[in-house]
Structure 1
Amino acid sequence: MANRKKSRPVPNRLLQQERERQNWTQLRLATEIGTTPFNVSRWERGLTSPGPYFRGKLCTVFRKRPEELGLLRFTTDEPEDAVEDRTDPLLGAAALPVVYDSSIPSVSTATSGLVGRADLLQRLTHTLLTQRGALALSGLPGVGKTALAVALARDRQVQASFHEGVLWAGLGNRPNLVGLLGHWGSLLGIPAHEMMKLTRVEEWAMALRDIIGVRRMLLIIDDAWSIEAALACKVGGPNSIYVLTTRFPELAYQFAQEQAMAVHELSAADGIAFLAQLAPEITARETEDTRELVESVGGLPLALTLIGKYLQTQLYSGQPRRLQTALSRLRSANERLQLEAPQAPAEHSPSLPSGTPISLKAVIQVSDQQLSQQAQHALRSLAAFPAKPNTFSEEAALAVCAAPVEVLDELFSAGLLESSMPGRYTLHQTIADYAKLHGTDATSEECLIAYFVSYVEAYSRGYDYGVFTLESNNILAALQSACNRQMNAELIRGINAFAPFLAATGHYSVAETHLQQARSAALQSGDKHGLAEIWFHLGRLAENRGEHTHAELAYQQGLALARKIGRRDLMSAILAHWGELIVNSGDYPRAEHYLLEGLDLAREFDDKLRMSVLMKNLGEVSDCKGNYELGDSYYQQGLALARETGNREILSALLQNLGVKARRRGEQDLASKFYQEGIKWAREIGHRQRLSALLMNMGVLALQQQQFDEAERLFLESLDLARKIGHPLRISAVLQNLGMLEGMRHTYKRAEVYLQESLDLAYRIENRWLISEALSQWGELYLQQQRLDEARQAFDEALTIARNMKAVELIGITLHGLARVSAARGNYVDARRYGQESQARYTYVDHQKAAEIQAWLASLPIP
């Protein structure tokens, strides 16, 4: 057969230029069209051509014709993603002894590395036994790729399948290919005089392929750094299978295509178990230190191995002082990176110079040294981001490292930067620690701060909290860096924009830490505008925590300062939320005064977003006073404004209030419709407080329909959210409803536990509405058990509070309770009097209870 002459590949510059014009990495383009970065790279280098399917995808994504992307110069009969190698298999070889390579590392090297790897090892074994071709493992340096390869080589099933031998070659970054192939030749029995004639890699490859022939052999290529070196070791015949390990994900895919697998670090639990194998006595008694150590190295097996050996050495002395000193030392990232252990010559990492002890710093450094200077600088800059499991966007990465997208490609190709999802990256803790060891550029931190302060300001205006979920750790890191670097203006701007998200998601302690830092910064720099906003957010934070006095003080400080500097917009905001706080305490005239002043200010600036908040709060004041018609008017005006401004936080709150009113009127379907829409918006923006409230009200609806199990499910979900964010008002409210549910089930002990905690919390946060409600529920519980004196006392206390608040609905609730207590005692005169007073109040507020009480009154004996 005539040899087909191979032409030099012609790079596809048009395709590459279009990708770069879009400012996309090869990974981004691959994600867009559903292929791999390796394929994109080969297309651009002219090594292969995209088939019809991917040609269509490329034209669609770039909105270009094929000729504009350089896609028509390829022949139509070329198979999609064709590769150059079309060699025919060899068909035979001379008889050979069974060969198990002596250079395979010992079993002890890999034993502890298999903790947490059972599923992966089973999958790898199955692939080896059932598939053909090659298998490749990629992952961070020190993640345990070699240990897995050793485990495969030693596995009895694998050895039985590859019954004619297992060969091992450790390549490293500077492989002696002739020497490695010569070692294989010696094992396979090539005569010495024949071996002396083989001086080139190509000659060795032909000789080895010829002698292996059709034999069933496993060839393991460990620590490959280049595809050329890896391919040089593909010397087996058609029945040979290859296992490749590499720190480079793209190399793994080049070698094994769809049978390339990523090896990830260990989970926290597996990391602790791993460390327990190496230092069992320490992990048994220093459990918290053990967990912190595992987290500090991101579950990387090599790091845990070095830590375990070091701790065990210190323990050997028998002196507790040495162990505590060692644990203290290991809290330093620099110390962890410097930990080292000597290696036996036969087990030495092929990537490290001979005689070099293994350490985290050493194994990462060999990758770092291969990077361009620009990529090295970018790696150190990216260490400004929090480490894995945190992720960061490509846009943020480019802003921080001030480099082109190709630099991110280089770091990804080097296995130092990981892709977490399309358009996002992550940096393992040990890689970040290594980068910080070389010093993080001050400019990079300033870029991080500037990027995320601008980011949070841009998105906070629309209360679009959902966009902050992925970026919250990065934003907090930027705020802390601003504090550390005394960039006061950026710190103040950033936390004032980010505080509402932290409050909505229940991160109260985090919010307080940064707000207090910003308060000190504002006082130091004399930033009165920033300080007034900080007081406002501190007030909202204290309100959410149920700290009534602290909230009042913060709002008072903020309002006074806002008046002094003429910030009428901020005055309106403070009055809106201060008024809401006062509503919850039951002082309705004062609350209404503040809210109406805030509404006038908001109308001055046509601040529709603030007006919707004020309308909601004024509606609640009207409802509490029993003026339900005015309350409806406020709610509907607020709802229209919230829809117009897209404020989903207030929208969900207004829908909840409208749902409550519909339920009280007996319009359960309408109430459910309001609640469901409110839940949709609350979930969309991740507002856990609002979601807790809405779920509780859905539970109340289910309770009224006698759906006890569904009510309990909703109440418990609501309670779980409220406890997670530490919101005492929400906790108290849902506990009260759980107490009501258990009372209806006649499980009185459980009801008492719920109601007691609810009442205690209501007293603690000084919420008189909740106090009166909880006391009324206690009265109901006592009444159900015929404990009439205790029921009367509870209802009397609840009525006193309700009358002081002039809360019409609460007065109706307590009077209904007293009416039934009187009836139970046979005092029908008082029963009728209390019942008629209760019915009048329920009728006034258009509550469905009015008809129920009227029927009850009709059933009473006539004196």
Structure 2
Amino acid sequence: MHPGSPDTAARLATWLAAHLERHRLTVADVARDLRVSPGQVRGWLAAAGLRAPTGPGEFDHLDTPVKLGAWLRARIADAGVSVRELAESTPDVSMSTVYNWLNGEHLPPPPAADEPDRLDLLLSNPVLGLGLQQRVQLDEIRRRLTGTSLHLDAAPEWDARSLPAANRAFTGRRPALRRLDRLLADYGRGAAVLAIVTGIGGVGKTALAVQWARSAQVRPTFPDGCLHLDLQGYSATSPVDPATARLRLLYQLGADPHRPPADPEAQAALYQRMLAGRRLLLVLDNARDEAQVRPLLPADPGCLTLVTSRARLSGLDVTSPGLTRLDLDALTEAEAAALLRELLGRLAAGPATDEEVRALADRCGRLPLALQIAAANYLTHHHPQREPLAAYTAELAADRLGELTIDPADPATAVTPTLDHSLRHLSAPAQRAYRLLGLHRAPDFAEAWAASVTAEPRDRTRAALSELVQANLLTLDQRGRYAFHDLLRDHAAALAARTDGEQERRAAVGRGLDHWRHSGFAATMVVEPSRDPITLDPAGPGAAPERFDDFDTAWQWIEDEIEGVVAASAQATETGFDPYVWQLVWICGNPLGQRGQWNRLVELGELALQAGLRTGDSEAVARAHRYLAHPAILTERLPEARTHLQTALELHRADGDARGRAAVLHSLSYIEERLGNYAAALAHSEEALAVDRERGFRGGQARALNEVGWLLAHLDRVDEALAPCLEAHAIFEELGDRGKAAHVADSLGYLRHRLGDHAGALADFGRAADEFRALDRPFELAGTLDRIGDVHLDATGPDAAAAVWQEALDLYTDLGHGNAEEVRAKLHGLDRPDPADRRDAC
């Protein structure tokens, strides 16, 4: 058989249709995997007389002419044609007529005589790729909307009349669907009777529940059908009370609506009796709380209940042991991009690159509701040929919540009211905490910081945070840290702007920044006790900074909070807290440099410089130049670093700031050393030592002594070098500065190697390497490993040296540092340059 024959195409199309059904795939899933449009997949199926698997009621959600028009508009866009092209290729249908239908106007009833049925002619156009059964269903929708249906009382094949129609654009969620599918096996063993799907508003809980309830796997399991009830827990109207909800379910079960039992207990008994013996799926959608759900749970194990809610409904874990819980998060990057392409259609999304589609999806927070609104806005108000997708994404970035709106009063078409409804049932303290915490940009945060922002005691803050977590407005990870979804943070900040006065908002921002400044200073001085301290003004009223008694707690605080401090540095520049910027950078600068994140140091240094120039604070400006010199030195941009340091030195001298002058001298010594000017470097270090001795700063003295010993060794005065290094090590040990003591141990290892004491060198280097590993300082560790390799080459042999150098090379490569080439040359047997220094640059 010829591979290109029609018979082969038909067989492939038949296999494709079965593949879609068997693996729970949509046309969009297959189209994405094959990198073609959904319309192309439908065309393959239609050419063989097949279509994508659909179920009865596929179009039941099109219950108004406007919804039918919106669906038709999306179908046309998906086909990749314009309205003009579609009208011109459809007999007896004009472009203006099609536009009327798209706007929900002048929907024609079925023709009474021999006149052409223009709507069916349009739906029959092969470009739209609709199968016969789909056209029949759409004709029945049209008849219902025009009052001409011949089957108003016809019952569907599966008794699920209250269940909404599946979303045509539903995409992804395969892990969640598989998780729900496993419920069926548990249900068959009598082990599953209740499942809860929770998540923030707009994340697609209802869409997932409906998609699964209408799947081919569910129907045979529940031959008695499906009941669905919207409990309106988070809608514009009041939540449905349990008694009313039970009555509505009774009517769905066939109870006489004219003769309901008057007594609530009798109603409850009738409800359970009518459920008894049935194999039925009950979908309780949009539940507010446990009290609303519990009276509706079937007692008969033949029924399975699926609940969706924005609240976690944790109380059901106590009263319904063994329940299955599914916490729905935002779509993955791939799922969100696929949904956007499906919603936009080939005409709009075709010219866009994958990166542009992903950027728009990210700007929407990858929430299905936000994606649908953004796609609808783009298709309605923009044109791909006049405004590319990237331009629309930029507009969205300027005002996400404002742009993610079609009808501001309709939660189904606007993000803001959807999220507003999530707050309706929260306590006043929880609502206030939500608003004020949203003013900050911290990627995650701890309870202690939240207490400062809200200016509340820890116990009250803990209660408010717990309430927000239960409402899925915050997430809580295993480390005990809280986080916002991006859109929720935007919503909280916008709500604060509408609710709280400017003074209250500024105070909340200031308290958060104060917490990071003062807590970060305290943690830094415990982790780096030999560091030159800075002077902070007192924290504002209500802020409660943390204090630290031991190294491990302080070090962990820095690990947990550094990203928050970085975000705070940028926020301080934008909210009028310029004097705070250089202080926040002081806290996070060394940890970022030790991890090799030098580009971020440049960004922070620029922020500090601009803030200092705005305030006219010479100390802030000088420190900002030092911050910018640090990454320039570490990445071998030495002339640039020298310029920054000379500017800083002039400012410090003008201010009479001996502390700043000594810090610059240390860095200038480093530059001269890297250039091989060891005598000039030694002069800078000795001057810094004199300044620090005069002002009695022992941490600076120890740093200078270590530099002096290191540089003497490079001037071949090794015998003189040991004493200053030993003195430096003793001071750092006394001060309890583990990191600086490790630096001196590294220097001692180098000196002992020069003196021929290989065992002593390996011991000192080993102590330094162990400490750098424990402190997670890859740059310093790589330098020490490089020097250990030198010792092994002289004492043990090339194999041992190669193993250590390879580890150093891997670290330098990951950091993107130029020292990688030096180590690579050693591995290739080339001449070895002088070992690279590893001292702090500022």
Question: Structures share a fold, TM > 0.5?
Answer: yes
Q: Which residue of 1 aligns with 2:570?
A: 480
Against the structure 1 CA distance between its residues 694 and 311, is the aligned structure 2 distance closer, same or farther, given a 3 Å change threshold?
farther
Q: Deviations over 1:606-646 (max 9, x none)?
A: 43322232122112212211222322333322222222223
* Partner residue in 2 for 1:114: 173
> Which piece of structure 1 moves more, 473-482 or 663-672?
663-672
**Counterparts of 1:122 and 1:668, CA distance in 2:** 65
Give 2:729's aligned residue: 639
Say if 2:787 and 2:835, in contact at 8 Å, map to a contact too: no
1:327 to 393, 412, 428: 393
Contact kept in structure 2, 1:134 and 1:241, CA below 8 Å: yes
The correspondence for 1:425, drawn from 446, 459, 482, is 482
- Alignment partners' CA distance in 2, 1:320 and 1:523: 42
Match of 2:778 in 1: 688
> Equivalent residue of 1:111, what SS?
coil
Secondary structure, counterpart of 1:101 in structure 2? coil
Q: Normalized against structure 1, the TM-score is what?
A: 0.67
Cα distance in structure 2, aligned partners of 1:715 and 1:513: 27
In the TM superposition, residue 596 of structure 1 has moved relative to its aligned partner by 1.4
Does residue 458 in structure 1 map to residue 522 in structure 2?
A: yes
Q: Does 1:102 align with 2:166?
A: no
| Residue identity matched to 1:141 | G
Cα distance per residue 1:143-162 (max 9 Å; x no partner): 22222222332333333333
Partner of 2:455 in structure 1? Answer: 402
Q: How does 1:331-480 map to 2 (within 5 A)?
A: 331-335=397-401, 338-340=404-406, 357-386=412-441, 390-403=443-456, 404-405=460-461, 406-440=463-497, 441-461=505-525, 462-463=527-528, 467-480=557-570
Question: Deviation at 1:341?
Answer: 7.3
Q: Distance in 1 between matches of 2:162 and 2:786?
A: 66
Question: What is the CA RMSD across the aligned residues, in angstroms?
Answer: 3.4
Kept after mapping to 2: 8 A contact 1:385/1:392:
no
Judging changes above 3 Å, is the alpha-carbon distance between structure 1 residues 188 and 439 closer, same or farther for their aligned structure 2 residues? closer
Q: Following TM superposition, by how much is the alpha carbon of 1:247 offset from its aligned partner in structure 2, in angstroms? A: 0.8
1:276 maps to: 341
Instruction: Give the 3 Å change call, closer, same or farther, for CA 718–295 of structure 1 in structure 2.
Output: same
Q: CA deviation at 1:171?
A: 0.8
Distance verdict in 2 for CA 1:152–1:502, change over 3 Å: same
**Please, which of 284, 292, 295 is the counterpart of residue 232 of structure 1?**
295
Residue type of the alignment partner of 2:357: T
The amino acid that maps onto 2:483 is: T
Question: 1:791-810 to 2 correspondence within 5 Å?
Answer: none
Please tell me whether residue 218 in structure 1 is matched to residue 281 in structure 2.
yes
Equivalent of 2:653, from 539, 563, 566? 563
The reply to whether residue 244 of structure 1 matches residue 307 of structure 2 is yes
Secondary structure at 2:260 match in 1? coil
Q: 1:525 to 1:321 in 2, by over 3 A?
A: closer
- Aligned residue number for residue 590 of structure 2: 500
Q: Structure 1 residues 176 and 496, CA, compared in 2 at 3 Å: closer, same or farther?
A: closer
Q: Secondary structure at the match of 1:107?
A: coil
Structure 2 counterpart of 1:299, which letter? R
3-state SS of paired residue (2:164): coil
Which of residues 790, 796, 815 in structure 2 aligns to 1:722?
815
Q: Distance in 1 between the 2:518 and 2:468 partners? A: 27
Which residue, out of 622, 635, 644, partners 1:545?
Answer: 635
Evaluate the alpha carbon distance shift between residue 184 and residue 376 of structure 1 in structure 2; reply closer, same or farther with a 3 A threshold.
closer
1:264 Cα offset (Å): 1.7
8 A Cα contact 2:692 2:698, kept in partner:
yes
Conserved in 2, the CA contact under 8 Å of 1:114 and 1:147?
Answer: no
Structure 2: which amino acid aligns with 1:456? G
Residue-pair matches, total: 632
- For structure 2, which runs of at least 5 residues remain unmatched after alignment? 1-155, 234-238, 498-504, 529-553, 838-842
The DSSP-based 3-state class of the residue aligned with 1:330 is helix
User: Does the Cα contact within 8 Å between 1:166 and 1:217 map onto a contact in 2?
Assistant: yes
Write the deviation string for residues 623-675 of structure 1: whole angstroms up to 9, x where unpaired. Answer: 21122232233332222222222323323322333334555667666545444
Q: Deviations over 1:403-449 (max 9, x none)?
A: 33233233223321221235421111111111222345222212222
Post-superposition offset of 1:254: 5.2
Relative to 1, partners in 2 of residues 1:425 and 1:590: Cα closer, same or farther, differing over 3 Å?
Answer: same
Distance 1:708 1:271, change over 3 A: farther
Aligned partners of 1:555 and 1:447: how far apart in 2?
A: 33
Residues 557-612 of structure 1: CA deviation (Å, up to 9, x unaligned): 33333334332233322222221221221112221122112122323344332223
CA distance in 1 between partners of 2:329 and 2:165 (Å): 23
Look up the equivalent residue of 1:216 and give its one-letter code: R
Q: TM-score, normalised by structure 2?
A: 0.68
Alignment correspondent of 2:112: none
Kindly tell me: are residues 715 and 477 of structure 1, through their superposed partners in 2, closer, same or farther at Cα, counting changes over 3 Å?
Answer: closer
CA, structure 1 residues 118+245, in 2 after alignment: closer, same or farther (shift >3 Å)? closer
Q: Distance in 2 between matches of 1:125 and 1:651?
A: 61
**More deviation in 545-554 or 585-594?**
545-554
Q: Which moved more, 1:376-385 or 1:601-610?
A: 601-610
Runs of at least 5 residues in structure 1 that lack an aligned partner in the other structure: 1-96, 343-352, 744-750, 759-767, 774-863
Question: What are the Cα deviations for residues 15-42 of structure 1, in whole angstroms up to 9, with x where unaligned?
Answer: xxxxxxxxxxxxxxxxxxxxxxxxxxxx
Give the whole-Å Cα distance in 2 for the aligned partners of 1:278 and 1:701: 64
Deviation at 1:548, TM superposition (A): 1.4
SS at match of 2:192: coil
Relative to its length, the structure with more helix (as a share) is: 1
The residue identity in structure 1 corresponding to 2:165 is S
Q: Is the 8 A contact 1:98 1:165 kept in 2?
A: no
Task: After TM superposition, give the deviation of residue 337 of structure 1 in Å.
Answer: 5.9
Deviation of the 1:212 alpha carbon: 2.1
Relative distance call for 1:428 and 1:702 in structure 2 (3 A) is farther
Preserved CA contact (<8 Å) 2:436 2:453: yes
- 1:569-608 maps to which residues of 2 (within 5 A)? 569-608=659-698
Are 1:299 and 2:346 matched, yes or no? no
Give the 3 Å change call, closer, same or farther, for CA 705–133 of structure 1 in structure 2.
same
Report the counterpart of residue 625 of structure 2 in structure 1.
535
Match for residue 143 of structure 1?
Answer: 203
Deviation larger for 421-430 or 643-652:
643-652
Give the Cα separation in 2 of the matches to 1:318 and 1:567: 60
SS of equivalent residue, structure 2 residue 212: helix
Partner of 1:39: none
Q: Is the CA contact 1:337–1:434 (under 8 Å) kept in the aligned structure 2?
A: no
**1:159 equivalent in structure 2:** 219
Paired AA for residue 291 in structure 2: E
Question: Which AA in structure 2 matches 1:490?
Answer: Y
* Greater Cα offset, 604-613 or 361-370: 604-613
Of 231, 234, 246 in structure 2, the residue corresponding to residue 181 of structure 1 is 246
Aligned to 1:170: 230
Residue 489 of structure 1 corresponds to 579
**CA deviation profile, 1:735-776 (whole Å, cap 9, x unmatched):** 222223234xxxxxxx8xxx9xx9xxxxxxxxx9579x9xxx
After superposition, the Cα gap between the structure-2 partners of 1:577 and 1:713, relative to the gap in structure 1 and judged at 3 Å, is same
**427-436 or 672-681, which deviates more:** 672-681
Match of 2:38 in 1: none
Matched-pair contact (CA < 8 Å) for 1:579–1:592: yes
Alpha-carbon distance between aligned partners in 1 of 2:330 and 2:642, rounded to the nearest angstrom: 49
The CA deviation at 1:312 is 4.3
| Greater Cα shift, 630-639 or 586-595 | 630-639
The aligned counterpart of 2:825 is 739
- Between the aligned partners of 1:267 and 1:235, the Cα distance in structure 2 is 35
Report the Cα distance in structure 2 between the residues aligned to 1:320 and 1:302, rounded to whole angstroms: 25
Quote the residue 1:511 is aligned against: 601
Tell me the equivalent position of 2:332: 267
Amino acid at match of 1:249: R
Aligned position for 1:206? 269
Per the alignment, do residues 504 and 356 of structure 1 end up closer, same or farther by CA in structure 2, a change over 3 Å counting? closer
